Amino acid sequence: MGPAAGSARDRGRCRIPMLLMAICTALAALVLTGLGANDALAIEQAAPAAPPARPLRVEDQWKAKLNANTVAIVAGGPEETYLDITHDLAVVLNDNNLRLLPIVGLGGAQNIRDVLYLRGVDIGLTSTQMLRYFASTGELGASLETRLVYISRLFSEEMHVVASRNIRTIEELTNKKVNFSDAGSTTQITARDVFGLLGVSVQEVNLSQADAIEAIKKGEIAATVAFSGKPAGFLARLSARDNLHLLEVPYSRSLQNVYQPGQLEPALYPGLVDSAQAVPTVTVDSVLITNNWPPASERYRRVARFVEELYAKLPDLKKPPRHPKWQEVDLSRDLPGWQRFPLAQDLLQQAQFEQFRAARAQGQPMPETAADKQRLFREFREWSENERKRQ
């Protein structure tokens, strides 16, 4: 056998081991692949299944239910109109979808602070004068008119000046001791303003109204001042035997840019009015306020629920035995310089548009084309703007 044949046999022997190696490699790969698949399947089968969702405990169910639609509203003291008004709101508005929780408060000035800073307070009652005051002083921080929004103006709060019968006019209180209620209260801040604008300088004292009435009877002070929706609760127990009466607050030119005229009727205060004529006074408006919550927030949603119920059930709030001040409430009244709660603005515009549309229709069917609707809405916008300017 020659060299060529040997070379061929050597090449054949070399190819056989290479072929065997390739076959072994392929078999090994197949085995490893199979093992990997089996291992993955084993791991998947061994992984524990997700446990079924556990039902909420009874305690957690109650927590969720009670907090879902509860709205806390801060009002006033036990004998103040604010607390009567919030009690009416709770009685009429409360149902399975809303629970209104009235809080005894310290009056309109403190209520603004509470709405801004006290945890858990959603809504508060205050006066338009207090909003103006804190916006102008910056005492509660800058840009108050963007941090707070109003839901609605409500009713007027009358200025009551109660004095002994030997004092006939408010000017006679000059240099005498006069109670302006608690320090930091709405009455204190507003009474200082009114007396200052009238040019009547007095010696201010700060007592509760009950203590002030007793102090007048004893001759320790000359008078007490209170801003409250008539009839004021703390005056209900007084009679002619107490020798007290209500003083006139003259509506002078100096007051006309800030205050509105009002009166206190003899029928409401039979023991405090000297004649059959009503006693002239001045008033400020009460207003419902809340924080300027982001529309997507839970706090906004809860306040929005309250607003929906207020607009829907206002007619029920105007019926007896609710407080007579509800008769004065007009949800459409604006508060210049302040933003209305967005949903309240939407509901107001919807109601106004329906009234406008009905008035234009005069009982006849209205055209429903897109062009007619656009024209009618433009007319409504113009009408709304004119109405706003007249207020």
Q: Which residue has the higher pLDDT, 380 or 333?
A: 333
Q: Which residue has the higher pLDDT, 69 or 4?
A: 69
Using the predicted structure, report yes or no on whether residue 123 has a pLDDT greater than 70: yes
pLDDT of residue 302: 94
CATH 3.40.190.10, domain 69-340, yes or no: yes
pLDDT tens-digit readout, 306-349: 999 999 999 999 999 999 999 999 999 999 999 999 999 999 98
Q: Which residue has the higher pLDDT, 258 or 372?
A: 258
Using the predicted structure, report yes or no on whether residue 274 has a pLDDT greater than 60: yes
Residues 30-56, mean pLDDT to the nearest whole number = 53
pLDDT tens-digit readout, 204-229: 999 999 999 999 999 999 999 999 99
Arithmetic mean of pLDDT over the chain: 85
pLDDT of residue 387: 64
pLDDT of residue 236: 81
Using the predicted structure, report yes or no on whether residue 251 has a pLDDT greater than 70: yes
List the chain domain ranges: 69-340, 346-390
pLDDT of residue 92: 97
pLDDT tens-digit readout, 275-284: 889 999 999 9
pLDDT tens-digit readout, 85-118: 999 999 999 998 899 999 999 999 999 999 999 9
Using the predicted structure, report yes or no on whether residue 7 has a pLDDT greater than 60: no
* Model pTM score: 0.78
Percent of the chain at pLDDT exceeding 90: 66
Q: Which residue has the higher pLDDT, 79 or 130?
A: 130
pLDDT of residue 96: 86
Instruction: Specify the range with the lowest mean pLDDT, choosing from 130-144, 169-183, 344-358, 375-389.
Output: 375-389
Residues 142-168, mean pLDDT to the nearest whole number = 97
pLDDT tens-digit readout, 62-79: 877 777 889 999 998 887
Place of tokens 């949800």: 331
pLDDT of residue 256: 93
